Structure 1
Amino acid sequence: MKKLMILLFLVFTLSSCQKTDNFIPLIIYDMNDTYMEDFEMKITESAQGVITLKTFDSQNSQVIQNEIIVSLLKKGHKELIVNPVDRLSAYATIELAKKYDATIIFINREPLEKDLQSYEKAYYIGALPSESGVLQAELVNNLFGYDPNNLNFNDKNDDGVIQLVILKGEVGHQDAEIRTKTVLEELDRLGFSVELLEIAVGNFDEETAYTETKKLITEYNHSIELVLSNNDAMAIGALRAFKEAELIKDLDSDQIINPIIEPWVPIIGIDGLDVALDYIKTNEIYGTILNDSNNMAKAIIELVNSLKNNLSLDELTFSLSNNKYIWVPYQKITNIEE
């Protein structure tokens, strides 16, 4: 009888531990990143009633993220959602997943194609960074009147050339490099004459961008006709600096900037953060490119649920490209009512 009681206790204990660990790990590169904090919330909301998630913060450390992944794989987790600290680290993550026969869904930072293709249980969900650059250029086209040879009032010095600065994310970061390169190439393709005053590195961070923009204002002041930012957080940092310098100012205190009669420097971001949309409403920021985290979150949960339950991927509501990729399109936003 005593042996039976011990056996029942062990069975109960083991089943309880298994139930406790019955979650899908969501491993974020850094929860201090404004976009990722918002994105994590949307993924968690999309998971409600479908799967159980548990979020892990890598604290912008690849070492910490590696430790998290190894620990989870050793505990028997067979599906992991990973937002890499460094996209090049995906190779090591994939090799670990192979060892434990686990499925890895990478999000937001795309691994190298050869790494992703090396394992049948590795996937990526995100947006094409080149698309955001193209759409930023389309907003510039709209902003300056759709005629590169006859710029409108936003050409402050009336020289037919757009004097611009770019706030770039991390040096070497795939999305930052592609977004920056593509927007310049697209502006050239559209026929705009551009004077690139400077590319300042803001590390995707509001405070860093604020500091860098203050330096740009000291150097170029009223010469700046346009700010293109690799993300909304840096765009907001730039806005703070321009408002502090009174280069963007609501003179009549009506809570909206009139760019024709009030001091204004157009700023275009990327991400579609709620706070950026508020600034678009008041015309303090001209526009942003929506990184559609709502649909991305839905795609992540749908894919991981299908893989976890051995459902047919042919039934996904999102298109699976090359049996590896789900691409969620960007969208232009200059009017939050749209």
Structure 2
Amino acid sequence: MKSIAVTGLLTIILGTGCSNSLSSNKNEPVIGFVAYEFNNTWITELKNEIYKVSSGKARVDIWNGDNIQTVENDKINLFINRKVNVLDINPVDVNAAGQIIEKCKKANIPTVFVNRQPKKEDMEKWNKVYYVGAKAEQSGTIQGQMLVNYFKGHPTQDGTIRYIMLKGETRNQDAEKRTQYSIKALKDSGFKVQKVAEDTAMWDRTKAQEKMTSFISSYGPNFDCVIANNDDMALGAVDALKAAGYFNGGKYVPVVGVDATAPAVKAVEDGTLFGTVLNDAAKQGDAAFDLSYILSKGKIPDESNFKYKVTDGKYIWIDYKMITKENVQDAK
């Protein structure tokens, strides 16, 4: 186990264990946060924001779920046993949220889910559970709108858009909705679409590169665009396309992702990534910490103490935003 303890800032625990060290300020609340996976660019940006906004206010421990739900469950149990004031969770599997909520309810620890939305019926199990994130259907719709804009100016020969889809994972609400609504936006704009290939790449750049390399080998140039559920996978697709001679000498297909991570924004500037959708890690990190801090004081978030709107008493929605070369500065 490797641990780094920082007074008044953030304790990030790497590996399988956790730190039991105490903050020097006994009056500071302790907030536990379990992220689904540290090896994810967007999660890194989220953690960095929480580093910044928590300074001098609270101790926050962020632990790695290692993208394994049983591992994440163990970390959650450790936080519950430590009796943290608030528990923030970015779940590996949103289908595990119901049992997690029941555990937190029994321990009377207010719970904030971040970025990965539990089912409505699970959210309704307790009045001290909240969600901070964006609506996945909005990100998919924006991806589709970007491609609508592109193909209006660059129509295919027969009017049909042949696409390759790189999905994050199965049974994940964000992945399913981004997939569904990106295609819906194309159809709603009057385009005919045809799926050439679709596979899961687990939100990972290397896995996406491998999948895309296989698709290029199987289907050659017989596709018009690539849609990825996140930027890491979109960049993996770009890596494979570059190796196949794309983005050079006029050989081009638009690739779109979601998150507007720093590497993706650079790729948009370079012209290898057609567009992305800003999934605002800074605002989500700020909102999650601010909400958790209020809850740690035994208060209910409202207009008098919380700058973000709370919908239906539980949801804090952070809007997505289309990012292309024309407005790439908005993502910086």
Could you say which TM-score interval applies, normalised by the shorter chain? 0.7 to 0.9
**CA shift at 1:248, angstroms?**
2.2
The answer as to whether partners of 2:163 and 2:195 remain within 8 angstroms in 1 is yes
Aligned to 2:159: 160
The SS at the match of 1:337 is: helix
Determine whether 1:334 maps to 2:319: no
Distance in 1 between the 2:100 and 2:298 partners? 22
Percent identical residues: 29
Q: After the TM superposition, which residues 94-133 of structure 1 pair with which residues of structure 2 at under 5 Å, given as runs?
A: 94-133=101-140
Identify the range of structure 1 (100-109 vs 60-69) with the bigger mean alpha-carbon deviation.
60-69
Aligned to 1:298: 286
Instruction: Decide whether aligned partners of structure 1 residues 130 and 290 sit closer, same or farther in structure 2, where only a CA change above 3 A counts.
Output: same
Letter in 2 for 1:297: G
Equivalent pairs counted in the alignment come to 306
Aligned to 1:53: 60
Determine whether 1:272 maps to 2:260: yes
Distance in 2 between the 1:16 and 1:244 partners? 50
**CA shift at 1:311, angstroms?**
4.0
Distance in 1 between the 2:22 and 2:243 partners? 59
Greater C-alpha radius of gyration: 1
Letter in 2 for 1:287: G
Aligned to 1:229: 228
Distance in 1 between the 2:107 and 2:94 partners? 21
Aligned to 2:16: none
The SS at the match of 1:56 is: strand
**CA shift at 1:126, angstroms?**
0.8
After TM superposition, the score normalised by the length of structure 1 is: 0.86
Q: After the TM superposition, which residues 1-16 of structure 1 pair with which residues of structure 2 at under 5 Å, given as runs?
A: none
The answer as to whether partners of 2:255 and 2:274 remain within 8 angstroms in 1 is yes
Instruction: Decide whether aligned partners of structure 1 residues 20 and 86 sit closer, same or farther in structure 2, where only a CA change above 3 A counts.
Output: farther
Distance in 2 between the 1:323 and 1:103 partners? 14
Aligned to 2:168: 169
**CA shift at 1:73, angstroms?**
1.4
Letter in 2 for 1:45: K
**269, 276, 297: which one pairs with 1:309?**
297
Q: After the TM superposition, which residues 168-207 of structure 1 pair with which residues of structure 2 at under 5 Å, given as runs?
A: 168-207=167-206
The SS at the match of 1:227 is: strand
**CA shift at 1:17, angstroms?**
8.7
CA RMSD of aligned residues (A): 2.0
Identify the range of structure 1 (281-290 vs 51-60) with the bigger mean alpha-carbon deviation.
51-60
Q: Deviations over 1:64-94 (max 9, x none)?
A: 2222222221222121111111112111111
**CA shift at 1:312, angstroms?**
4.8
Q: After the TM superposition, which residues 47-86 of structure 1 pair with which residues of structure 2 at under 5 Å, given as runs?
A: 47-86=54-93
Regions of 4+ moved over 6 Å? 14-18
The SS at the match of 1:109 is: coil
Which residues of structure 2 form unaligned runs of 5+?
1-20
After TM superposition, the score normalised by the length of structure 2 is: 0.87
Aligned to 1:245: 244
Distance in 2 between the 1:227 and 1:135 partners? 14
Aligned to 1:321: 311
Instruction: Decide whether aligned partners of structure 1 residues 282 and 18 sit closer, same or farther in structure 2, where only a CA change above 3 A counts.
Output: closer
Distance in 1 between the 2:22 and 2:272 partners? 56
Letter in 2 for 1:269: G
Distance in 1 between the 2:251 and 2:24 partners? 62
Letter in 1 for 2:311: S
The SS at the match of 1:288 is: strand
The answer as to whether partners of 1:42 and 1:297 remain within 8 angstroms in 2 is yes
